[in-house]
């Protein structure tokens, strides 16, 4: 768990990376020695942007590949300028953005023999899920439960996000759950 100072630092990194990206078309480069060890540790994160309470961008990674401060900088830039669902953020939108950061815990495999058994194990509002079928892979953060509170709807929409039909099922589907620290 991060303390309030660390959370504030990461929020500032995200904000500055978006501002830097407007002028330089790349994420803010982080000097890791400016941050304490917890923010230098490799962690996976997502940065979600909202404008007027509407999604404006969301990008992240599922595996810890970079130090956390760098990951947040990279994902904030990508959420603002590379989420292909939205046009790049403009300078006049900057003051209207609400930045939400999610630090992912380690994913754990869910063992199940059927879709109903999988659904019975889900914890709405707590679980983030990674669904994999062959080369297809998709995830929903725990915050998605706010708009899809029904377990069946949650799984069906995750299947569609992954590139599968909502009614698709196969014994080869793999699902992992993870928790997040949100701020």
DSSP output for 43-102: --EEEEEEETTEEEEEEE-SS--SBHHHHHHHHHHHHHHT-TTSPPPPGGGGGGEEEEEE
**CATH number of the domain where residue 113 is located:** 3.30.1490.150
Asked if residue 86 and residue 115 are part of one domain, the reply reads no
Give exposure, 128-146, as e/b (b: 16+ Cβ within 10 Å): bbbbebeeeebbbbbbbbe
Q: Report the domain count for the chain.
A: 2
Model pLDDT, residue 77 = 98
* Claim to verify: residue 23 and residue 95 sit in the same structural domain: yes
Q: Give the pLDDT confidence score for residue 171 in this predicted structure.
A: 93
- The answer on 99 and 113 residing in a single domain is no
Q: Which of 61, 85, 103 is the last residue of a domain?
A: 103
For residue 109, what pLDDT band results from cuts at 50, 70 and 90? very high
Q: Identify which of 59, 51, 55, 57 has the alpha carbon closest to the alpha carbon of residue 95.
A: 51
Look up the pTM and report it.
0.87
Mean pLDDT, the chain, rounded, equals 96
Asked which of 78, 103, 128 is the last residue of a domain, the reply is 103
pLDDT in tens, 17-44: 999 999 999 999 999 999 999 999 999 9
Task: Tell whether 10 and 94 lie within a shared domain.
Answer: yes
How much of the chain exceeds pLDDT 90, in percent? 99
pLDDT value for 179: 95
Range of the domain at 27: 4-103
Q: What is the pLDDT of residue 144?
A: 93
Same domain, 89 and 114: no
pLDDT (tens digit per residue) in 58-102: 999 999 999 999 999 999 999 999 999 999 999 999 999 999 999
Identify the band that residue 114 occupies on the pLDDT scale cut at 50, 70 and 90. very high
Last residue of a domain, one of 82, 103, 124: 103
> What's the pLDDT band for 123 if we cut at 50, 70, 90?
very high
Same domain, residue pair 68 and 124: no
């Amino acid at each position: 768990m991060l303390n309030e100072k660390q959370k504030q630092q990461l929020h500032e990194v995200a904000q500055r990376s978006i501002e830097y990206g407007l002028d330089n078309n790349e994420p803010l480069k982080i000097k890791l020695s400016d941050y304490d060890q917890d923010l230098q540790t490799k962690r996976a994160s997502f940065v979600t942007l909202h404008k007027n309470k509407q999604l404006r961008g969301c990008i992240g990674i599922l595996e810890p590949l970079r130090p956390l401060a760098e990951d947040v900088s990279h994902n904030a830039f990508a959420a603002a300028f590379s989420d292909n669902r939205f046009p790049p953020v403009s300078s006049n939108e900057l003051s209207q953005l609400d930045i939400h950061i999610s630090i992912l815990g380690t994913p754990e495999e869910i063992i199940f023999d059927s879709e109903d058994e999988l659904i019975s194990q889900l914890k709405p509002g707590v679980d983030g899920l990674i669904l994999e079928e062959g080369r297809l892979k998709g995830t929903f953060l725990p915050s998605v439960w706010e708009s899809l509170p029904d377990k069946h709807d949650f799984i069906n929409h995750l299947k569609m996000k992954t590139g599968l039909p909502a009614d698709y099922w196969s014994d080869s589907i793999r699902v992992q759950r993870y928790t997040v620290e949100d701020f």
